[in-house]
Structures are given as structure tokens and as C-alpha cells.
Amino acid sequence: MSKLYNVAVVGATGAVGNEMVKILEEREFPVRNLKLLASERSLGKYIEFKGENIPVEVLSENSFKGVEIGLFSAGGSVSQKYAPIAASDGCVVIDNTSAFRMEPDIPLVVPEVNPEEIAHYKNRGIIANPNCSTIQMVVVLKPIYDAVGIVRVVVSTYQAVSGTGKKAIEELAEQTRALLTFGEIKPKVYPHQIAFNCLPHIDVFLENGYTREEMKMVNETKKIMKDPNIAVSATTVRVPVFYGHSESVNVETKKKITAAEVRALLEKAPGVCVVDNPAQNEYPLAIYAAGRDETFVGRIREDLSIERGINMWIVADNVRKGAALNAVQIAEILIQKYL
Ligand code: 25A
Ligand code: L14
């Protein structure tokens, strides 16, 4: 019989943690024992895994004895504190927060792009899962980069509220209901009304005028693609969508490539699904990407304003490929090759 692993999900009752549990079951990850961890607020809750109701336990320093793989998604401060504790107990941490992503000795991995980096989990026992908007973009950029090189990327995002977690999903639903029934709304999670609105503001503003979400896209793209010379300019926008981030991406390539050539490249690319048939009104849409594993790309066309430019529309389920699925894919490679 093949080997089974003791797995812990930290933040199991959250939007991403819940999806991690589902994906472990769906993909038949070889789990011996599944430990569900969250804060005291979740005590008394159960989550179903393979037909069994598993009680949620309160995260503590002793949670990781005998655990081999820890999937973390409970926020940056939880990871800062508990990922090193887990690692010192011999648990390999796959961390969904931004806590460790830019640390040079911690691998930042998208399996379709840089799976070989997983080997460096040995440095600190931690592998970082990139930002959701970055993951879906680099999955599409990589084949283009390998074929013709990339000089510059200009991206604007249209991000779903599920990226912020459960409270934000509830906030969009409540505001929508209230506004349609002439009720009052009181923004809590976001600084302004999100229903029927777009907010050019994700994560906090930095001194350079960009948000931290925008700078994650800049810095993480360079690290994952292993090319500090790729210029990236990002504007990240929250839109009233529950699941699925959309992105308008403009790429300036080193060598000329046509739209047809890009389409042909992406049709063969792992994890990518080309949906590009404007004559039939077919292009990627968040409502169809939700619940799916692929990164969808369409509206592929040449940029008429420069010599070597391509425009695309890229959509993926931010909670799956953007977070939980990517983490489980990393875990799959980890056990196949290293554990
Ligand atoms: O701002 P931060 O700290 O960086 O956190 C960012 C948030 O983004 C989500 C996740 O939200 C996180 O809290 N997230 C993290 N990584 C992500 C990624 N890659 C990501 N989102 C997208 N992509 P979430 O609400 O979906 O999930 C939070 C989970 O973490 C557990 N948790 C929180 N603090 C913890 C902790 N676990 C251990 N120790 C801690 N200190 C959290 O469990 C959940 O599993 P919980 O028990 O705290 O919450 C269970 C339910 O309670 C509600 N709730 C949340 N906060 C409060 C609350 N109720 C009352 N008061 C609150 N303050 C939630 O609805 C939740 O369902
Ligand atoms: O850095 O609120 O992975 O949509 C990505 C989603 C931070 C929060 C990250 C959101 C998160 C963000």
C-alpha cells in the first residue's frame, strides 16, 4: 500500500481552509489523519471529510506533533507565529498567507511554473503559496515567456470578495439584499459599499502610492518567473463578485508573437483553458470559472499601440487555483518527490 500522511489544515473553518478540505477529498490525497485547526471561535464546529464529521480543534503550540504536512490559511500573523513551530516539529508547512513569500530562502511555488523550487522546502520547512491574482497570471505568462521572452506586463484586476474571507462574502450578500429592499447599509469589512460598486483598493496603501496587493503582483511575479527584469505595473480592484478573479493583462514581449501563436501556445499549456470565440460571445467569465480548476484565458489579441504586445483576459477561481488547489498541488509534488 502506498504511504499515507498526517495532514493539518490551519484556518479550516475559513473560506480557503474549507476548500482545502474539499480538495484533499476530491483529489484523493493520501491522508491518514486529518486535523482541523482554527481559533476558539470555531470550537464545537465539525467539518465533513470522506463522510466523517471531524471536530475542529483550537490551534496551539502542541498542534503539530506527528503532523507531516500543514496547510495554513488563517492570516499572516497566525502563520508568522505557528509555521516555524510546526516546521520545528518536522511538519512541512504550505503557507497561503503573505508572511514568508518574499523571503529568499523560502520557495514560492506555482506547480505549472516552477515546481523544481519545491526542493528548497528543506531550507526552513516552509513553502509559500503565492497571491491569488499572481498565480492565475503567471500560469498564462510562463509559456509566452519561454517562447518569446517578456519585457513588461501591465495588469488590472477585478477581484472577488471571497479573497478577503468569509466575512466579506457575507458583507456583499447583506449589502445587496439591503440595497434591493431599500434598507440601510453599514460597510464593515471594506471601507466603502462593495455592492454595485468597484473599489480600487485591495490590502493596505503603501508609501509609493500602490497597494500591498499591487506590489505582491509585482514582486511575486519576478520571484516565481525567476527574472527580476520583468517590469510589472498593477492596479488591483475589488468588484461585487463572489468567486473568481478576472484580469486584463497587457504583455510586451521580447520577440514578436502573433495572437494566433499565443492561442496555440496556451492551448497546450498545463492548467490553462483557452476560451476565445468572440463570434459566439465566448470569453472567460468568473461565474463559469467558479468551482473549476483551470485558469481560463480569452480575448487574446495584438496590442495595436506597440510593436510587440498582446492583450488577454484571464479568469480563475481565486479560492481554488488562487489558494487551496495550488496548495494541494504543491503537497502532491512534495509527497511524490520528496517525502
Ligand atoms: O488579515 P489577516 O490576519 O491576514 O487574515 C486574512 C484573512 O484572509 C483569509 C482568511 O479569512 C484570513 O482570516 N485568508 C487567508 N489566506 C488566504 C488566501 N490565500 C485568505 N483568503 C484568501 N486567500 P477567513 O475568514 O476565510 O478564514 C479565517 C480562518 O482562519 C481562522 N483563524 C483566524 N484567526 C485565527 C484562526 N485560527 C487560529 N488562530 C487564530 N488566531 C478562522 O477560524 C478561519 O478558519 P475562526 O475560528 O477564527 O473563525 C471561524 C468563523 O468565525 C467567523 N469570524 C472570523 N473572525 C471573527 C469571526 N466571528 C467573530 N468575530 C471575529 N473577529 C468567520 O466567519 C469564520 O467562519
Ligand atoms: O495575499 O482580500 O494572498 O482579496 C489575497 C487576497 C490577501 C487578501 C493574499 C483579498 C491575499 C486578498
Distance 53 CA to ligand 1 centre (A): 21
Task: Give mean pLDDT, residues 123-134.
Answer: 98
Instruction: Specify the pTM.
Output: 0.94
Using one digit for the tens of pLDDT, what is the confidence trace for 196-230? 999 999 999 999 999 999 999 999 999 999 999 99
Closest ligand 1 atom to Cα of 13: 45
pLDDT at 1: 58
310 DSSP β-pair partners: 251, 302
What confidence tens digit (pLDDT) does each residue in 87-110 have? 999 999 999 999 999 999 999 999
Residue 49, φ and ψ in degrees, nearest 5:
-140, 120
Q: 246 in ligand 2 pocket by Cβ < 6 Å?
A: no
Paired with 282 in beta bridges are 277
Q: Is the CB of 73 under 6 A from ligand 1?
A: yes
Buried b (16+ CB within 10 A) or exposed e, 139-155: bbbbbbbebbbbeebbb
Nearest ligand, CA 201? 2
Question: What is the SS3 assignment for 321?
Answer: helix
Residue bearing the CA closest to ligand 1, atom 56 = 167
Distance 165 CA to ligand 1 centre (A): 7
166 lines ligand 1 (CB under 6 A): yes
On whether the CB atoms of residues 137 and 214 are closer than 8 A, the answer is no
pLDDT of 264-275, one tens digit each?
A: 999 999 999 999
- Cα 232 to Cα 147, 156, 225, 229, 313, distances in angstroms: 19, 11, 12, 9, 16
132 lines ligand 1 (CB under 6 A): yes
Output the CA torsion 52→56→60→62 (10° steps): -20
pLDDT in tens, 281-312: 999 999 999 999 999 999 999 999 999 999 99
Q: What spacing in Å lies between the alpha carbon of 8 and ligand 1's midpoint?
A: 16
As annotated, the active-site residues are: 132, 245
Is 161 touching ligand 2 by the criterion CB < 6 Å? no
The three grid cell numbers given for residue 102, joined into one nine-digit string: 518574499
The confidence band for 2, taking pLDDT boundaries of 50, 70 and 90, is confident
- Residue 195: C-alpha distances to residues 94, 190, 192, 240 (Å): 33, 11, 9, 5
- Measured CA to CA, the distance from residue 314 to residue 336 in angstroms comes to 30
Interaxial angle between packed helices 212-225 and 132-148, expressed in degrees from 0 to 180 and rounded to the nearest 10: 40
Whose CA is closest to atom 6 on ligand 2? 163
DSSP state of 269: S
- CA of 327 relative to ligand 2 center, distance in Å: 15
Confirm or reject: Cβ of 167 under 6 Å from ligand 1. yes
Q: Where are the beta strands (DSSP E) in the chain?
A: 5-10, 31-38, 46-49, 52-58, 69-72, 92-95, 126-128, 150-159, 231-238, 245-253, 272-274, 295-302, 309-316
Nearest partner of 156 among 312, 278, 269, judged by Cα: 312
Beta strand 126-128 pairing with 92-95: parallel
